[in-house]
Structure 1
Amino acid sequence: MTEPAAPAHHPHNAARHPRPRHVSPFESLVWLKAGWFYFARNPGVWVAISVIFIVMLFVLGLVPLLGWAVVLIGFPVMVAGMVLGCHALAQGKPLHIEHLFAGLKVHAGNLSLVGVFYLLGGLIAGFVSVLIGGGALLTGYILGALAGIGLGLVSGVLLGSIVFSVLWVLLITALWFAAPLVVLRDTPPLDAMKMSLSACFNNFGAFVVLGILIYVLIWVAMIPAGLGVLILVPVLAGTLYASYQDVFGDAALVSPHAAAPVKAD
């Protein structure tokens, strides 16, 4: 009796579910440097993209009652567009303002689902943190004394904040590679977020360093009346694309130096 043959490895599935590479913590500096050079390839178009991106997020946020939800759901779609813009530059093609909306043409439904999962994750993080914080407050109330209530209030707020921060970091790591994996690898939304979470923890040192550097850059960008954000947004888009190529994709495309600067038509 012959044994059944093992299922053949499907190359398309391998393309959709690549194995993340492990990189050095110092690679975060390389990603940021690549992000800057992607911006420098066409700063005028990138600044225009940043302005439109920020204005759209602001306008969407004004939608009554559901504005914040619309922003979270639409965020991965626009991020994917900027990733596709970086991908075009890496291939020696021109960058266009229309790249910001390219995510609407490529896997708009899956990218929106990433946003829905992002929204649900944020709601769950908030609910869990309130639940745990409320439990600590209830303990203080049961103790009865004013000192017990005060201690319960302080510990409840502190514990709730810590829990929310931890859950939010997990959510951000699940979101980091999700948009590139969806638009460049045709990866299903939930799989993309799981792979992103796994890749970030597999490269824990690199992303700790990157997180600290981004935190500092955000404060620096806010100094000149917030105008630095117009530069920081595309730099972070290029950083995201560079980190994706380094961890999941073709490392040869990480550096934008290979091709001569390309201007938009």
Structure 2
Amino acid sequence: MTPKPPSTSIGSAQPAHTLQWLTAGWQVFLAHPGIWIAQTAILIAILAALGFVPLLGWAAAPVALPMLAAGMLAGVDAHRRQGTVRVDHLFEGLRRRTRELLLLGLCHLAGALLAALIATLIGGSAVLTGMLIGALAGVSVAAGGVMFGVLVFTVLWTLLIMALCFAPALVLLGNMPPLEAMKRSARVCFANPLTFIVLAAMLYVLVWIAMLPAGLGMLVLVPVIMGTLHAAWVQLFNPAPALPAPDHKPENPVDAS
């Protein structure tokens, strides 16, 4: 499958489109449920195994996640173009664009560490200040600082997710450089804020529902999310070309003479 050239246009979407994207994701899952469940089980097993790698386990999973996500998105793309999908589509990122996807994973890791470091510094400095002040005022300063640190972390983490939301698809399927892909992903989220707030809220609820049966619902929800992101990527980064302007010529021209 030959990757597309990078797209320079960004589309727009209304909050109602989120239902269309989720419906498309559900239809993708229903077309090949066994293959998608197998892919998701392998993905979860790989991420869990990477977590046990000595010394570097904490960093391996965040680096590998964008590559594996890109593989699942390649499977969705193959299904929509050819009607077929294979379990080994999960490893499509190991066959092509590997270096670019690894760089994307490193950006994921670096962004998460930076967000945690900034939040820790804010919260830690507030606690230290509270200890120096002492008494009730010191407790208030410490608590307020910790809450502010949590807020800063949430904001930074949200920005990171916005930058990574469409980046795997843009890198693997759109043939785009990693840093440019992250910028484009963030731009489209900023351009459609209400739409992505609605989508995030819906996915948040679905994740909690999927976790209820001992987390087994994630075997279904993960491929649905990938199908949802692919549908959103198609609409937002590959808008349909404008139709040519009609040729206004009178059918029966009248002779002015």
Same fold flag (TM > 0.5): yes
Q: Is the 8 A contact 2:207 2:218 kept in 1?
A: yes
Structure 2: give runs of 5+ residues left out of the alignment.
Answer: 242-257
Equivalent in 182, 197, 217 of residue 206 of structure 2: 217
Between the two proteins, what is the percent identity of the paired residues? 43
1:234 aligns with 2:223: yes
Asked if 1:69 corresponds to 2:69, the answer is no
Distance 2:211 2:64 in 1: 24
Considering only CA atoms, is the larger Rg found in Structure 1 or Structure 2? 2
TM-score, normalised on structure 1?
0.86
Q: 1: distance between equivalents of 2:113 and 2:198? A: 27
Task: Give the drift of 1:145.
Answer: 3.1
SS of aligned partner of 1:16: coil
Q: Which amino acid aligns with 2:155?
A: V
Give the TM-score normalised by the residue count of structure 2: 0.89
Q: 2:110 aligns with which of 107, 115, 120?
A: 120
Q: How much does 1:123 deviate? A: 0.7
Among candidates 148, 153, 165, match of residue 159 of structure 1: 148
Q: Distance in 1 between matches of 2:155 and 2:240?
A: 31
Q: Is the 8 A contact 1:138 1:152 kept in 2?
A: no
Give the 3-state SS of the residue equivalent to 2:53 in structure 1: coil
Which letter maps to 2:37? V
The alpha carbon displacement at 1:17 in A equals 4.2
CA contact (8 A) 1:73 1:118 kept: yes
Question: Is the contact made by 1:141 and 1:148 (CA closer than 8 Å) also made in structure 2?
Answer: no
Q: How many positions carry a matched residue from both structures?
A: 238
CA contact (8 A) 1:81 1:99 kept: yes
Letter in 1 for 2:152: V
Give 1:111's aligned residue. Answer: 101
| CA-CA distance at 1:19 after TM superposition | 1.7
What is the alpha-carbon distance in structure 2 between the residues aligned to residue 117 and residue 33 of structure 1?
A: 31
Q: Which amino acid aligns with 2:216?
A: L
Residues 100-136 of structure 1: per-residue CA shift (max 9 Å, x gap): 0011112011001000001000111011111222333
Instruction: State the distance in 2 between where 1:60 and 1:103 align.
Output: 17
- Corresponding residue number in structure 1 for 2:179: 190
Deviations 1:198-246 (A, max 9, x none): 1111111111001000000001101112111100010011011111111
Deviates more, 1:151-160 or 1:189-198: 151-160
* AA at the equivalent of 2:238: G
Counterpart amino acid of 2:187? S
Residues 1-265 of structure 1 mapped to structure 2, 5 A cutoff: 15-142=5-132, 144-249=133-238
Q: SS of the counterpart of 1:88?
A: helix
Deviation, structure 1 residue 151: 1.1
